[in-house]
Chains A and B, each alone.
Chain A
């Protein structure tokens, strides 16, 4: 890892701290142990905390450092610390390079930078990074860095986030200095427009601050053209600046900065964060339209500032909504909504919608609004509910508010730090300006990149696989489960794209869950219900009424549904077309995603009614999800959730009635399950996760659209659907859903590092859900069974590949052993999918059993396929089996190390029980394709197809 000495940036740093700074600058770049939680930051270390193995592997790891993930477990003693080098562009334009642990949260980086800058009044500042669209996003200090960086190198910028309306109230000069630097950049880049006169005045104070008194002998006559004051700097401007500069003799830098700020703060665009948008609908009463003009679709800019939300058309302010005037802010897909308190001339609250370029832009705007509101309007983030901006999503501003930071900074007792104000690079003429004009926020638009709940989940599934792959040699088998869990916890994309953000923390999931309906409200009463309602109805207005009607129901439904929804992209797509779409777009490398996409395509055209129907029945929409996820994140007891879920079922009941009954008993039992079972359960879950991925593929291949419909409708419909295939499809998808839901549960849990106890609860939930699904299946099975029996086909695709640097062969014998183990594990879990099947069998009809049997057969066959064996050290091996009545997916993942090279082998076996109509070739092709997509780094080395005709002799397939 190359590190910069830091001298560069340091030069600009406060002199007084020079020594300290130097030490830091020298130390930080090289000190890898920036892991806040575990190791105390020991300045001065160089390359310290890296673990042995990591070093050994460095060669291998280095290029894939971005791509590969180490599995870490809090439980394990050995910690692998991945160190990332961050380049932070400071306010003076210099770059500050430092290292942080890969898993470090944003706060760690932020604190390091502030330390480096000797900055105490930090709350006005933040870190930005550019996303793929080159949009600036604020890092969330409470989230891990790696989850917030989508692609590319870890480059950041340190910026003012909240512009104090009255900079004179800042306590320290050094804080004002940095604010000045930010404003100078704002001015020079054009983000902060000002008149010629203002350029002159600001420029003159800048010169005074940086260069001191006018002194022709020392400065020369052309000293001023070295500096940048304006986007289009003219000689005339420079002369005027110089003229003024001459009059400032004796003014201290701090005074000059104060004057600078006193002028800058009056500028109308001071501290206004602009976002491109379009008006949605005609809003004459809210806006002042040009004569005879329809305001629909008019291009505008939304400006977020300390006092509220400003709306600009071109350079004209056409409206302004002070924070107190705004009852609620929300976003849904590309749309951003504000609900306005009725004014003197209006009787009713009104909701104004804006169309943002894309989903991410809408979310970004929403977040900025939430943060600004909290920072400037609230006394504290935990202010009483009345004043509180309550949000649907987990996201909220967690830092100090302005009031708090003022209070805190009034306690600052250090002597005013001395610091050097050297001419900042940024403003040198020679330097190309990086700032863009006002539009900066959205230069690149319209890439519909979205991060969504489903996507994440999928990613996780993916990740799991990946992780397993990358296990380290030192890992012991005993630790495998842990490792797997960890894997979930630290999802890392296996794909070549290293630092993508796809893998989300649970909190992000929450966000996503909310996607559509994040709400920030000042009046507490409506919010929750509204959020819920929002999902279902697209119109922001008129939600209010619905709120009270079905809060509980929705909630309850949420739980059950939630898992399903979240976990399965397909499902998501079904329940809410739009979501699905965005999701899929985001996650390009996921099979699930693909599936989603396709599905969406097919589904979207469908009548909205259908969609909504589904939403209600099966998957009550995102809103519910939100709550669920929130509950989870809050670590509320799962039991509660379950109860609610039951209620819900009852209420909604018709379809699921059978399910509830089953559910209720099961849940408690599971929750009570001993801790010993935990491990095995976890294991199973993981397996299931894997299988989910696989299964999803299958589903995608064969059943996408039909599935949706069936689910939506009642059993009757299934029967009516006539085509056995369809029915099958639904089956499969349902199975997938079930699994997926589990995945979610697990991953969420792990990410959060919940305790085992919590984990248990979650599992319980999951199981419940599974059962429910199965119950449904049983109902439908009447029709289906026949179908499935007629023929069964299995596809087994094994993917073998290597991660960038390492390649190897896997050890067969071990694998087998593993398999055996797993088999054992399965029985242990009474609630596992297998057992579910059993239940099903009991409930249902014989044919199902038959199908399963066949699946098993395939598994054994597969073991054989592993044939090519190299002796080596088996790092890990894992077999995951999931079954539904119609499909069985088995995944073997083995990781071996041989002679320092590690190999990962993933074998996936997909057994599809289906009807004659299945196009096997196509299915196979699809499966391969998706396997490739899923693991771009790996190559498919073997494909084995087994076809088996069952009892019914009629199928002549090949």
Chain B
């Protein structure tokens, strides 16, 4: 039976991208910190392995591009929902070309490609929270109203609500989905405020899982055959208090994934992959 909006968290494919050496020095970052590319690459390998080997997703790995120091953060280059992929226009000018490889990969997966050609529009995938029932788009330094409008146009089935992002890089810098109807949210005031706005804007009810650290609130949820609820979350090493909270999720398969290096350039777990569900699609 064909059905829409079913199977939130069902994924079959993941697109990832390698880490260029230029990441260490040239990648954008909000704080001054030294990044060890080797560590970062090791970290990323582990991440990809979880997706491919442990979770069984078909992983498409795009080669790193030295001229695109941030290219590992593929999430910002595309928003995929159902069989439609929106190729974004990243807010940071230096990252615009990241979309080219992404577009190719998505085309190869036979997705319907929608491109954001409007020069006034900017949108980073990191500002897009898809809950399974609707989109929230953070209006941030990287994403503007026009970008959100185009996203709304690309995914007409869903309500697209805008949420001001007053602090942090992206909307998903302090939240993500932890399950169907479950929003993982940081405990900072801006995060809580954003959650309130989202709750107000929504016709649906969401449970919330508040974690002490905003950054720990960025997790990857999947619902996979034979595995059920899966949650990739930061390690206890980084966020011990937050991990205690995750551990309360009894129904979830919890997979700690280290992100210590990438976080230095504002990379969170969701940033490093684009997840796609090809099976349920028409």
Contact = CB atoms under 8 A, between A and B. Distances in A.
B152 interface: yes
Contacts of B149: 314-316
With most chain B CB atoms within 10 A of its CB, the pick from A196, A289, A344 is A196
Contacts of A307: 203
A120 interface: no
Contacts of A197: 4, 82-84, 157, 281-282
A288 B157 contact: no
Contacts of A288: 139, 162-164, 197
Contacts of A322: 200
B246 interface: no
B145 interface: yes
Interface in A246-268: 247, 259, 262-263, 266-268
Nearest to A319: B201
Interface stretch (A198-206, A449-457, A640-648, A919-927): A198-206
Contacts of B84: 195-197
B202 interface: yes
Contacts of B33: none
Nearest to A284: B164
Nearest to B154: A195
Interface in B199-224: 200-203
A266 B133 contact: yes
B158 A268 contact: yes
A348 interface: no
Interface residue range, chain B: 35 or more
A478 interface: no
Nearest to B3: A263
B164 A315 contact: no
B156 interface: yes
B interface, over-half SS? mixed
A318 B197 CA distance: 10
Nearest to B136: A317
A595 interface: no
Contact of B153 (A290, A315, A318, A345): A315
Interface string A290-331: 110100000000000101000001111111101001000000
B162 A244 contact: no
A200 B145 contact: no
A267 B155 CA distance: 11
B196 interface: yes
B144 A198 contact: no
Interface string A413-438: 00000000000000000000000000
A288 B140 CA distance: 11
Interface string A227-259: 000000000000010011001000000000001
Nearest to A192: B156
B65 to A, nearest CB: 30
B134 A268 contact: yes
Contacts of B152: 314-316
Interface in B5-55: 5
Interface string B90-106: 00000000000000000
Interface string A182-201: 00000000000111111011
A262 B3 contact: yes
Contacts of B161: 316-318, 320
B144 A290 contact: yes
A266 B5 contact: yes
Contacts of A263: 3-5
A195 B82 contact: yes
B165 to A, nearest CB: 10
Interface string B121-136: 0000000000001100
Given A318-B162, A320-B161, A195 B155 contact: yes
A343 interface: yes
B193 interface: yes
A293 B1 CA distance: 46
Contacts of A201: 2-4, 282
A305 B5 CA distance: 21
Given A194-B156, A314-B149, A320 B202 contact: yes
B117 interface: no
A634 B200 CA distance: 39
A247 B3 CA distance: 13
A325 B157 CA distance: 26
Contacts of B158: 268
Given A195-B155, A200-B282, A319-B201, A291 B2 contact: no
Interface in A598-614: none
A318 B198 CA distance: 10
Contacts of B145: 290-291, 293, 313, 316
B194 to A, nearest CB: 10
B160 interface: yes
B236 interface: no
B271 interface: no
Contacts of A314: 149, 152
Nearest to A322: B200
A480 B144 CA distance: 72
A247 B203 CA distance: 33
A655 B220 CA distance: 75
Nearest to A325: B200
A266 B200 contact: no
A830 B134 CA distance: 72
Given A195-B84, A266-B157, A267-B157, A317 B162 contact: yes
Nearest to A306: B203
Nearest to B146: A290
Contacts of B162: 288, 316-318
Nearest to B81: A195
* A197, A204, A262, A266 interface centre (most CB from chain B within 10 Å): A197
Interface string B221-235: 000000000000000
A949 to B, nearest CB: 74
Contacts of B3: 201, 259, 262-263
Contacts of A319: 200-201
Contacts of B82: 195, 197
A162 to B, nearest CB: 16
B245 interface: no
Contacts of A267: 157
A34 B163 CA distance: 55
B1 A196 contact: no
B139 A291 contact: yes
Interface string B245-275: 0000000000000000000000000000000
B110 interface: no
A288 B242 CA distance: 29
Nearest to B203: A307
B143 to A, nearest CB: 10
Interface in A1-44: none
Contacts of A204: 2
Contacts of A193: 156-157
A283 to B, nearest CB: 13
B157 A194 contact: yes
A320 B282 contact: no
Interface in B169-203: 193, 196-197, 200-203
Contacts of B109: none
A198 B4 contact: yes
Contacts of A318: 161-162
B2 to A, nearest CB: 5
A201 B82 CA distance: 13
B213 to A, nearest CB: 22
B136 to A, nearest CB: 9
25 contacts: A193-B156, A193-B157, A196-B84, A197-B4, A197-B83, A197-B281, A200-B2, A200-B282, A201-B4, A243-B282, A259-B1, A262-B3, A288-B164, A289-B164, A290-B144, A290-B146, A313-B145, A315-B160, A316-B145, A316-B149, A316-B152, A316-B161, A316-B162, A317-B160, A318-B162
Given A291-B144, A315-B153, 5 more contacts: A195-B84, A247-B2, A259-B3, A263-B3, A288-B164
The 6 closest A-B pairs by CB, nearest first: A268-B159, A290-B145, A315-B152, A317-B161, A193-B156, A288-B162
